[in-house]
Amino acid sequence: MFLRFVLVLLVLLAVVAGLAWLKYGQIQGEIAMFSQPMPAPMVAAATVRETRWEPTLDAVGSVAAVQGVEVSNQVAGQIEEIRFDSGITVTQGQILVLLDDDVDQADLEGLQAAERLAVLKLGRNSSLLKGQAVSQGDVDEVSAQVDQTRALVKSKQATIDKKTIRAPFAGQLGIRKVNVGQFLPEGTPIVLLQALDPVYVDYSLPEREIDEIRVGQPVRVQVAAHPQDQFDGAITAITPGVDKGTRSVQVRARFKNPGLKLRPGMFARVQTVLPVQERVLTLPREAVTFNTYGDSVFLVEEKDGRTTVQRRQIKTGTVRGDEVAVLDGLKAGDRVVSAGQVKLTNGQEVQIQAETATEIQTETKPQ
């Protein structure tokens, strides 16, 4: 019995020893694996280029009609006829609405008759004055009556003319707001009229950029409704003062709009074009790390057959599409990490996967 117990105990000890030896081997293998140096991470690199740069001042604005008005009536009256459809294009002076003027026409005829009578009396009294049958005072009184009746005729004719409502300028109408037979008090809105070619784009720029802009300066605009189209115009007006609330200056640019793609009220992305700079260092935007402590890049360095990176603080300028201007901290031909920089530290060895630019490119202004 004792011998059997000893044998079982020996077998258990052998099993435990074997398991312990196996686990020990595994631990030693993991230690050996982690003690090996990590492979250099793979990153993409880009080369600092010297290029011809067209800087812009970016802003947002709104499209506005050069002329826009809510057509309304100057005198009260009942609508007799409507001569337009909603949304049509009209010419200057085109009749839009006729108000009932029957009573006014009758009054005009009476005033015209009174004018004719006053003219006859003036002629008769003028003849009698030569024979001294009437006094000069009688002639002056009748002459004043002639002037008075003529003024009343002109006033009534003006009232009748105002009952024919015309388009004050050429443009496109909106949706009709009145109906035939409706009585219109003075100043009742009838229809919106807007001139759509050309149009204005109004926007604002910070006060620090006021010296960069001038009347006649080129401006480019894009709108969400036509993302593939670019509209070219020029600044026509700059407010003389700066807004106290926003510390910005208001700018207005004028754009031709033959296809009527720009409509009043549209949101617009505006670029005010500045003079071209011939030699500017640029980088892909994704190569720069932007933060509140300053912008930086990882500069690629070749030394002793090893490729390492060092963080470099730089000063950036304006952004144009996917490129950013570099004002300080780099020189033409420097290589920087353009992808994979999040996992990097100073002095770390890297492998370069690809470069977005492999040589300095210098563009010259065309003659």
Name the band, by pLDDT with cuts 50, 70 and 90, for residue 129. low
The reply to whether 127 falls in a domain is: yes
Q: Which tokens is 270 given? A: 């505006």
Say what the pLDDT of residue 143 is.
77
**Average confidence (pLDDT) over 74-99:** 91
With 80 as the cut, is the pLDDT of residue 137 above it? no
Residue of 287, 282, 290 lying closest to 300 (CA atoms) = 287
The reply to whether 316 falls in a domain is: yes
Q: Could you tell me the CATH number of the domain that includes residue 127?
A: 1.10.287.470
With 80 as the cut, is the pLDDT of residue 340 above it? no
Which of 248, 273, 298 is the last residue in one of the domains? 273
Name the residue range of residue 289's domain.
42-53+277-355
Say what the pLDDT of residue 3 is.
73
**Are both 251 and 283 inside the same structural domain?**
no
**Are both 61 and 49 inside the same structural domain?**
no
The reply to whether 150 falls in a domain is: yes
**Average confidence (pLDDT) over 257-277:** 88
Q: Average model confidence (pLDDT) for the chain?
A: 82
The reply to whether 177 falls in a domain is: no
The reply to whether 72 falls in a domain is: no
Say what the pLDDT of residue 183 is.
92
**Are both 267 and 205 inside the same structural domain?**
yes
Q: What predicted TM-score, i.e. pTM, was given to this entire model?
A: 0.63
**Are both 239 and 252 inside the same structural domain?**
yes
Q: Could you tell me the CATH number of the domain that includes residue 330?
A: 2.40.420.20
Sign of CA dihedral 274, 276, 277, 280: positive
Please tell me the least confidently modeled range out of 32-41, 134-143, 252-261, 305-314: 32-41
Question: In the chain, how many domains are there?
Answer: 3
With 50 as the cut, is the pLDDT of residue 331 above it? yes
The percentage of residues in the chain with a pLDDT greater than 90, rounded to a whole number, is 25
**Are both 265 and 293 inside the same structural domain?**
no
Q: Could you tell me the CATH number of the domain that includes residue 236?
A: 2.40.30.170
**Are both 143 and 285 inside the same structural domain?**
no
With 60 as the cut, is the pLDDT of residue 78 above it? yes
Please tell me the least confidently modeled range out of 27-36, 53-62, 237-246: 27-36
Q: Tell me the C-alpha distance between 61 and 265, whole Å.
A: 9
Say what the pLDDT of residue 364 is.
36
**Are both 152 and 295 inside the same structural domain?**
no
The reply to whether 282 falls in a domain is: yes
